[in-house]
Structure 1
Amino acid sequence: MHRQTTARVAGSLFLTATAAGVLSAVLLGPLDTLHSPQSIADRAQRISAGALMVLVMTVAIAMIPPTLFPVLKKHGEAPALSYVAARIIEVVLLLPAAIGPLMMVATSTTQAAHLDTVRTLTQTYDLWGHPSSLVFFCLSALLLNYLLYRSRLVPRWISGWALVAVMPYLADAFLVMFGLLAPSSALHAVLVLPLALNEMVLAVWLLVRGFRAPQSALTAHVAARRGGIDHA
């Protein structure tokens, strides 16, 4: 695949994953407020649509690493492989976010006696599984942007921004995991927003500008070094 085609496909996948993730959150809403089979049945269509959006997000995320790997491996095969592995684990941890709601809908209409068990499993996933997927998302963001920063495939301000923004996002994941922060709190939004915005900026850059040519990256590197020498 041509480098610029790779960049545009990756940018589209980033945007698709984010859009599907936002839609899934809106459609699913807080599942812990559904206390009866009837309340679940009343929202069955929204819950099913939200679960479908989670699957769309998961598929888009799963397609990003193989799309980027041929480009990234030229700048560090080990971190590129680690990036692929981190995103695969993230995808595996995300799948229950789609399966759990679908199981709630199914058990509410056919096996209501098992609904409490399914609800407990879903709440356990929300407490541990989803934050764990965010930890691996942060790891993948570190690896990706380390490679982008080193290779100058995109402007360094984008990858540098991500390398800084990933730290509050990671802190948020652990705070939620250990019950010290609610996902509905304002602080949660503050901690995750910088990296979320960065990913959108990266996606738009890849769609509009693509990857920098090797010559452009080298020129930028030389210019930066000359600027440092002249300043000294």
Structure 2
Amino acid sequence: MSTTAIRPPPATAVPMTSLRKTALVAGAFYLLSFVSIPTLSLYAPIRDASYIVGPNPGTGVIWGGVLEMIVALAGIGTAVALYPVVKKQNQSLALGFVGTRVLEAATIISGVVIVMTIVSLGQAGAGPDAVVTGNALIAMHNWTFLLGQGFIPAVNALLLGSLLYQSRLVPRILPLVGFIGAPLLVTSVIATLFGFWTQVSTRSALLTIPIALWEFSLGVYLIVKGFKPSPITAAMAPLSTPTDRQVVPV
């Protein structure tokens, strides 16, 4: 005569779901986009048109360009990582977010090309006659930065914020910060365009803080918490295969 003993299955690590991985990757890309903060000081030498007279080694400026390239790729990474999730809410807006992220990356890379041109001329020692060229290149970089990294993040916040607010994939307070930051950032850009204040100023910095807070807090939340349960995450979650019990003959 035999009996059976019901044993629980052995304890195993809970596998990380694809949604959790997506949240981690997107959050990491968002935080990686903040590595360019030191460029404000690294680019300081080239703001003087006499830099191009040279010769100047430009090592710090080159490192600033490298950091901005990382930011450009990280920006595309956030859109590519989030697209499979947010497209369930609205595919048109999700595609728009990918497009604006790519456009932002293109403007960043364009700015890096301009900066590297200034560095090359400075290393070669272009001479006093090249100061006019230096001023032109600096102006090109300033406008590229203003219209690219200054304006497009506001569009990004409106597109992605709308998707996340409607889907409730994250607490609604996060996209609300983006909604507040977007018009403030646009206000700063318009004020700079019409000469009310300079691009690097206290007012500009203050109006930029909310959009930076939106992106930073979103990155932290996605890494720490991941996506909240919602109809979208429920639709994307894989079917589970429960193992109720294990019967072992005695």
Verify the 8 A CA contact 2:161 2:178 in the aligned structure 1. yes
Cα separation, 2, equivalents of 1:217 and 1:169: 32
Given candidates 38, 60, 77, the residue that maps to 1:23 is 38
Map 1:151-230; keep pairs closer than 5 Å: 151-214=167-230
Q: Which amino acid aligns with 2:41?
A: V
TM-score by length of 2: 0.79
Q: 1:205 to 1:3 in 2, by over 3 A?
A: same
Q: 1:107 to 1:30 in 2, by over 3 A?
A: closer
Structure 2: gaps of 5 or more residues: 1-16, 235-250
Q: CA deviation at 1:27?
A: 1.4
Identity, in percent, stands at 25
Q: CA deviation at 1:148?
A: 0.3
Cα separation, 2, equivalents of 1:50 and 1:168: 26
Pairwise CA RMSD of aligned residues? 2.2
1:73 aligns with 87
Higher relative contact order (CA 8 A, sep 6+): 2
2:28 aligns with 12
Q: CA deviation at 1:91?
A: 1.1
Structure 1: gaps of 5 or more residues: 219-232
1:45 aligns with 2:59: yes
Q: CA deviation at 1:142?
A: 0.4
Q: 1:36 to 1:82 in 2, by over 3 A?
A: closer
Q: 1:183 to 1:30 in 2, by over 3 A?
A: farther
Q: Report SS of the residue matched to 1:74.
A: coil
Cα separation, 2, equivalents of 1:209 and 1:105: 43
TM-score by length of 1: 0.84
2:126 aligns with 112
Q: CA deviation at 1:23?
A: 2.0
Cα separation, 1, equivalents of 2:51 and 2:26: 42
